Structure 1
Amino acid sequence: MSQDQNRKARLARTDVSEDHPLVTEHDPTTERTSRLVEEIKETADKFARDRATRGDLKIVSRALRELRYAFKVFTPYRRDRKVTVFGSARTSPDHPAYQASLAFGKRFADAGWYVVTGAGGGIMEGAHVGAGRKMSMGLNIMLPFEQESNYVISNDEKLVNLKYFFTRKLMFVKEVHAVALFPGGFGTQDECFETLTLIQTGKRELMPIVLVDEPGGSYWKDWQQFIIKQLEKNGLISPADHSLYKITDSIDEAFDEIMNFYCVYHSMRYVKDKLYFRLHFEPTEELLEELNTNFADIISSGIIERVDAHPQEADEEHLAHMPRLAFNFNRRDMGRLRQMVDCINDSFDACAVTWSPDD
């Protein structure tokens, strides 16, 4: 297989629309789902017993209503791939960063990905212009200023208006398969560190994060220097944490970073004390030996093994056929875990010849 054919195969194999783990997580028919609805009702009753203040109840009520509606909007699209794009609302259309976001949005929409933004102007508008109305989704925050949704997504059924940043942030990270950040102000930095924190602490499963500069730009390169000087050198993060994100000024490179993440690796799930990796391809003995040698530092006990689907994964029947690796992860070194995923994905060349787009 030629290098170009191999690259196309890698990218084509990243179609997670039919079997992404988000699908069964939201199955409304299970008995456990009914029990959770009852627990929500019980919690509401406890607010009355606790004599909660009107102000507290307003926050809870509004947040619950916002999330309910947001989930309703996103549910029909949960089998579709999505990328969140963050960036400044103040970037003008003639700015190179705006043009880069436009190219980014178009590239992913052409590949069948929905582009999710804060629905505002600037970078958000650029990404939506590139994606087009059909492939755009929006999470607009209602502010005294900068609160109007951009003309691409305005009045679209895929637009959600939210009062609270925390409900909005949840949707930005929970509902997507990747995050891209372009230059921006306090809000963009907040969203950057929020996303990195959720991944680093294991509160959100691994996904690709790309920090995209305009061609020749230095916004994220300068940010990186701060991270190295003040965080890494002072021991506030580990060197491996840099693997949780990629800095680039190339739309092609950003695109490949996201798409290649899913070329062999599919998803992960904890079952009791073990972490299960679901893969698109059966891992070879050579890969297994390499992983056990190079990543022994993040295994709390035992070794990395090939396994079948665990009985507790029965609620994800659509993933039952997938090859798996399982091991006792220390649940701490997420940067190293991301490096393991990269190692697994890099093994594709060894098995690419056995796979065709018709599989």
Structure 2
Amino acid sequence: MSERIGKKQIPQERDFTGGLILSESCSYIGSTGEKKLDDKIMALAQELDTGSNACLLAEMMVTAVRLSRGAVSTGDFKMMNRALKEMRIATEVFYPYRDIKKVAVFGSARTLPEEEEYQTAVRFSKRMAEEGFMTITGAGPGIMAAGNEGAGRESSFGLNIALPFEAAANLFIAKDEKLIDFNYFFTRKLSFVKEANAAVALPGGFGTMDEIFEALTLIQTGKAIVYPIVLLDSKGGKYWKFWNQFVEEHLHRLGLISDSDFSLFLVTDDVEEAVNEITHFYKNFHSYRYVGDKLVVRIKKKIKEKAFSHMAKEFKGIVKSGEMVQSEALPEEGDEHELDALHRIVFRHKRRDFGRLREFINALNDADTE
């Protein structure tokens, strides 16, 4: 592996929900309706998986059996089967690179190599590779090709979608082992959100709008963890400035979004500002997860007490009850022992106003540390 992508991070479970996936129980396996069959399924699951996933495997088997016997058409059954296979394949491809941060790059498939937006995408992805990030694109032409070109084949992933047009992957990712073919947009978009540590969009059409609004919606509603979203124009470009104007005049003015929602994204025409927005996000902040009703924020360096006291007062509005405290790893985090050395900030989070949570993460990265 090249030095460009050799900057290993402290590994963690790739749970893009922030702890919801890690909660597991054998209480919700369900039943096929036949006790003997349920027992056979559980026995088979325990034989195949002697680790902690036997109950999940049994639940998946029960679900498959019930689907085969229920009011499900052959077409729906095939769709569910293919969707599961696509998620499995994608997970297997990403797994060897799970300790390397990645940025998703979105934009128009129609952008030509000689256009400034294309060259901006090339420069951005090249800079992110220099910072140790890999790039994930949709594997098609235009901005997608530019993202793969800038990152280089070794630092690239391609999530190709089967369409009547644009069927072939771009030459910068074609035939690479990190190229994944999808039949469904929803499984493809899941991989973008689940595997990325940041997202950058250059000018694009309906698809780009769909990808950016989905990422913003998932983060705004707490269904996905907060990560940087950058809307990048070529130098002097106005595409995202006019988009931002629409958001201000037609969403914010009507009270359809909050003031802090603007903290969830950055609009810029400067490649270095875009790069800094992403790298600075991980300066001290590492990750977070929910443990019951507590939010556990993992950081690389402990915040000095005076600075922490100031932060606790400034951001008391995101605390549901009790106090914000600095802590060591909680016992409930025992499934992630590799993160024990990180410091924690723990509090009961209101689970809303995630723009304000983003501002809290910014403050963590700017605070005085020990």
Q: Does 1:263 align with 2:283?
A: yes
Equivalent position SS for 2:222: coil
2:184 is equivalent to residue 192 of structure 1: no
Could you tell me which residue of structure 2 aligns to residue 146 of structure 1? Answer: 166
- State how far apart, in whole Å, the 2-side matches of 1:29 and 1:254 are: 44
Among 141, 144, 149, which residue is 1:129 paired with?
149
What is the RMSD of the two structures over their aligned residues, measured on CA atoms? 1.9
**Deviation for aligned residue 1:41:** 1.0
The AA in structure 2 aligned to 1:18 is: I
Taking the aligned partners of 1:311 and 1:16, their CA distance within structure 2 comes to 26
Match of 1:301 in 2: 321
Unaligned runs of 5+ in 1: 1-14, 355-359
Are 1:114 and 2:106 an aligned pair?
no
Q: Calculate the TM-score normalised by the size of structure 2.
A: 0.87
SS state at 2:322 partner: strand
Take 1:250 and 1:16, find their aligned partners in 2: how far apart are those partners?
27
Equivalence map 1:30-109=2 (5 Å): 31-109=51-129
Identity fraction in percent:
46
Query: What is residue 28 of structure 2 aligned with on the other side?
Result: none
SS at match of 1:22: coil
Shift of 1:60: 0.3
Q: Report the CA distance between 1:16 and its aligned residue.
A: 5.8
Contact 2:14 2:194 survives alignment (8 Å): no
TM-score, normalisation: structure 1 = 0.90
Runs of 5+ in structure 2 lacking a partner? 1-6, 23-47
Structure-2 residue corresponding to 1:157 = 177
Q: 1:190–1:244: structure 2 CA closer, same or farther, 3 Å change rule? A: same
Q: State the alpha-carbon separation in 2 of the partners of residues 335 and 124 from structure 1.
A: 28
Superposition deviation, residue 284 in structure 1 = 1.4
The structure-2 alpha-carbon separation of the partners of 1:105 and 1:225, relative to structure 1 and needing over 3 Å to count, comes to same
Q: Aligned-pair distance for 1:148?
A: 1.5
Matching residue of 2:333: 313
For 1:195, give the aligned amino acid. Answer: A
CA distance in 2, matches of 1:16, 1:303: 34
The answer as to whether partners of 1:22 and 1:79 remain within 8 angstroms in 2 is no
Residue by residue over 1:195-232, the C-alpha shift from the partner in whole angstroms, topping out at 9 and shown as x without a partner, is 00011111111111111000110111100000001111
Secondary structure class of the residue paired with 2:203: coil
Paired residue type of 1:141: I
AA of the residue aligned to 1:116: I
The residue type paired with residue 280 of structure 1 is K
- Partner amino acid for 1:143? L
Residue-by-residue CA offset, 1:293-343 (whole Å, 9 max, x unaligned): 111111111111111211110111111111111011100110001001111
Task: Decide whether the 8 Å contact of 2:11 with 2:98 is kept in 1.
Answer: no
Deviates more, 1:16-25 or 1:116-125: 16-25
Residue in 2 that maps onto 1:232: 252
Alpha-carbon distance, 1:34 to partner? 2.4
1:214 and 2:234 are equivalent in the alignment: yes
Please name the residue that 1:12 is paired with.
none
Query: Where do 4+ consecutive residues of structure 1 move more than 4 Å?
Result: 23-26
